[in-house]
């Protein structure tokens, strides 16, 4: 008999009843150190007083109104995002996937309005992830995500990640846009080198194509800049944001330049919930904390500490791990042992980490994780790795 919850997830037998900072309490009372943060969502950990306050204050006043009316919290959040980024304008969604959908519509409408309605080709990269909608899976294009769901939305081409020659061969004036994650998340924590992102910007400019950056996972302070592309000193035309921006409340956004957004006039797009007062109250509180130099400096310091500890972990368990990669507090351990063995052993040691493709485990802790929790989490990973190691020996 089919379970009452559609069985599309492989769930661990854990259920959490309370969160406190970087700790999650299991129903049986065990305390887990959270190095996953709900897959880069709980940027300020669990139960942060400023977010709880923003949400409960707004809940007392007004939960929801329609986008038929002005929503001051939404306006305030858009102003903050525009102030802090390349963007001139923002649209709010409930998820990353919805932001990705809008990006594809925006790109197509842009060329339609420019009198080139046939210019629909969007270049994406192998190993990428842009959500599970019909457009999102067509963009990423992997067999794993698309098999059985055809016919796929046409117009997408996937190139090997970081393959400059393949890009040069594909880039011409039929390309409407390129979409890329500055650091691939699901794909196995694969950062695009700064020089590649710059090269991609130049390649887009050479043919007039729009550059769309999917910063749903790597944005919102995760890499130690508010947005990962800032490290490369380039700006996109369109950027997708979600996960961290709501700190655990469902919220996403598309940010765009005035030029890229020029086709999206009244009536061309909308959302019932997107940018509602509850979500934006939390989004504003997140931005007030995360989008400050002091906070981001501390993320970089913590990232240095964690990375160094992980290098030590890899050195201590060369049979389990191959190396560390990533940027800021978006780190991956490339495994030699099967990554799910490492993750299950970590559950045993009461520390939460997240699988990714390419036999990688992801560490995406809260950006405000205390130093002592970093040390405790790594100690638990060390214990887990020893367990995995024992299992590997004949």
Ligand X SMILES: *Cc1c(COP(=O)(O)O)cnc(C)c1O
DSSP for residue 92: E
Stretch that binds ligand X, among 11-19, 22-30, 49-57, 94-102 (CB under 6 A): 94-102
Determine if residue 96 is labeled as part of a ligand binding site: yes
Q: Is 95 in the site for ligand X (CB under 6 A)?
A: yes
Nearer to ligand X, 85 or 217 (CB): 217
Stretch that binds ligand X, among 25-33, 92-100, 336-344, 383-391 (CB under 6 A): 92-100
Minimum distance of ligand X from residue 77's CB (angstroms): 17
Joined together, the tokens standing for residue 318 give 């060369």
Supply φ then ψ for residue 356, to 5 degrees: -145, 170
**Residue entry with tokens 């990006």:** 103
Q: Is 327 in the site for ligand X (CB under 6 A)?
A: no
Q: Is 181 in the site for ligand X (CB under 6 A)?
A: yes
Q: Is 214 in the site for ligand X (CB under 6 A)?
A: yes
Quick one: angle between helices 277-290 and 49-61, nearest 10? Answer: 150
Nearest residue to ligand X by CB is: 96
Report the residue from 22, 74, 85, 97 that binds ligand X according to the rule CB under 6 A: 97
Instruction: Give the DSSP letter string of 318-366.
Output: TTTEEEEEEETTEEEEEESS-HHHHHHHHHHTTEE-EEETTTEEEE---
Stretch that binds ligand X, among 91-99, 118-126, 169-177, 327-335 (CB under 6 A): 91-99
Determine if residue 185 is labeled as part of a ligand binding site: no
Minimum distance of ligand X from residue 39's CB (angstroms): 7
Using DSSP, state whether 108 is helix, strand or coil: helix
Residues paired with residue 211 on neighbouring β-strands, in sequence order: 178
Report the alpha-carbon distance of residue 76 to residue 279 in Å, rounded. Answer: 12
Minimum distance of ligand X from residue 154's CB (angstroms): 20
Is residue 377 packed enough to be buried (19+ CB in 10 Å), middle (13-18) or exposed (0-12)? buried
CA triple 330-327-189, angle to 5 deg: 60
Q: Using CB under 6 A, which residues numbered 125 to 144 contact ligand X?
A: 129-131
Report the alpha-carbon distance of residue 192 to residue 372 in Å, rounded. Answer: 31
Q: Using CB under 6 A, which residues numbered 228 to 267 contact ligand X?
A: 242-243
Q: Is 217 in the site for ligand X (CB under 6 A)?
A: yes
Minimum distance of ligand X from residue 61's CB (angstroms): 26
Q: Contacts for 49-53 with beta carbons within 8 Å, 24 or more apart?
A: 50/285, 50/288, 50/289, 51/247, 51/248, 51/249, 51/282, 51/285, 51/286, 53/285
Count CB atoms within 10 A of the CB of residue 344: 14
* Size of residue set near ligand X by CB under 6 A: 14
Q: Is 355 in the site for ligand X (CB under 6 A)?
A: no
Nearest C-alpha neighbor of 214 from the set 77, 330, 103, 355: 103
Report the residue from 51, 102, 139, 216 that binds ligand X according to the rule CB under 6 A: 216
Q: Is 96 in the site for ligand X (CB under 6 A)?
A: yes
Nearer to ligand X, 96 or 199 (CB): 96
Report the residue from 36, 38, 162, 185 that binds ligand X according to the rule CB under 6 A: 185
Q: Is 156 in the site for ligand X (CB under 6 A)?
A: no
Cα distances from 26 to residues 16, 352, 366, 380, in angstroms, run: 4, 12, 18, 17
Residues paired with residue 321 on neighbouring β-strands, in sequence order: 335
Nearer to ligand X, 132 or 383 (CB): 132
Report the alpha-carbon distance of residue 135 to residue 351 in Å, rounded. Answer: 35
Stretch that binds ligand X, among 1-9, 45-53, 72-80, 93-101 (CB under 6 A): 93-101
Binding annotation: 96-97, 129, 132, 214-217, 271-272
Q: Tell me the binding residues for N(2)-acetyl-L-ornithine.
A: 132, 271
Give the interface with ligand X as residue ranges (CB under 6 A): 95-97, 100, 129-131, 181, 185, 214, 216-217, 242-243
* Binding site feature residues for pyridoxal 5'-phosphate: 96-97, 129, 214-217, 272
């Amino acid at each position: 008999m089919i379970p009452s919850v559609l069985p599309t997830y492989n769930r661990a037998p854990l259920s959490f009843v309370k969160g406190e900072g970087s700790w999650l309490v299991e129903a049986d009372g065990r305390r887990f150190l959270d190095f996953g943060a709900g897959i880069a969502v709980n940027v300020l950990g669990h139960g942060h007083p400023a977010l709880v306050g923003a949400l409960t204050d707004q809940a007392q006043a007004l939960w929801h109104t329609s986008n038929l009316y002005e929503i001051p919290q939404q306006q305030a959040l858009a102003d903050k995002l525009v102030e802090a980024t390349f963007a001139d304008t923002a649209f709010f969604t409930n998820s990353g996937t919805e932001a990705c959908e809008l990006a594809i519509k925006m790109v197509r409408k842009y060329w339609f309005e420019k009198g080139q309605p046939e210019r629909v080709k969007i270049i994406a990269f192998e190993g990428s992830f842009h959500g599970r909608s019909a457009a999102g899976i067509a963009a990423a294009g992997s067999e794993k995500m698309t098999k059985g769901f055809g016919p796929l939305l046409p117009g997408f081409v996937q190139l090997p990640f970081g393959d400059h020659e393949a890009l040069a061969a594909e880039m011409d004036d039929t390309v409407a846009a390129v979409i890329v994650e500055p650091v691939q998340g699901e794909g196995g924590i694969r950062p695009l080198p700064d020089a590649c992102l710059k090269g991609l910007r130049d390649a887009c400019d050479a043919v007039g194509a729009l550059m769309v950056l999917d910063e749903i996972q790597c944005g919102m302070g995760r890499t130690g800049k508010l947005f990962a592309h800032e490290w490369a000193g380039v700006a996109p035309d369109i950027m997708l944001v979600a996960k961290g921006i709501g700190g655990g409340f469902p919220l996403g956004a598309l940010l765009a330049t005035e030029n890229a957004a020029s086709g999206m006039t009244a009536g061309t797009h909308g959302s019932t919930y997107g940018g509602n007062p509850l979500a934006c109250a939390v989004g504003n509180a997140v931005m007030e904390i995360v989008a400050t130099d002091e906070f981001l400096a501390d993320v970089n310091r913590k990232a240095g500490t964690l990375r160094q500890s992980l290098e030590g972990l890899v050195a201590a368990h060369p049979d389990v791990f191959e190396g560390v990669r990533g940027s800021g507090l978006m780190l991956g351990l490339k495994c030699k042992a099967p990554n799910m063995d490492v993750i299950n052993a970590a559950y045993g040691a009461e520390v939460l980490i997240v699988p990714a493709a390419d036999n990688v485990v992801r560490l995406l802790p809260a950006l405000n994780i205390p130093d002592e929790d970093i040390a405790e989490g790594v100690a638990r990973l060390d214990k887990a790795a020893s367990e995995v190691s024992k299992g590997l020996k004949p």
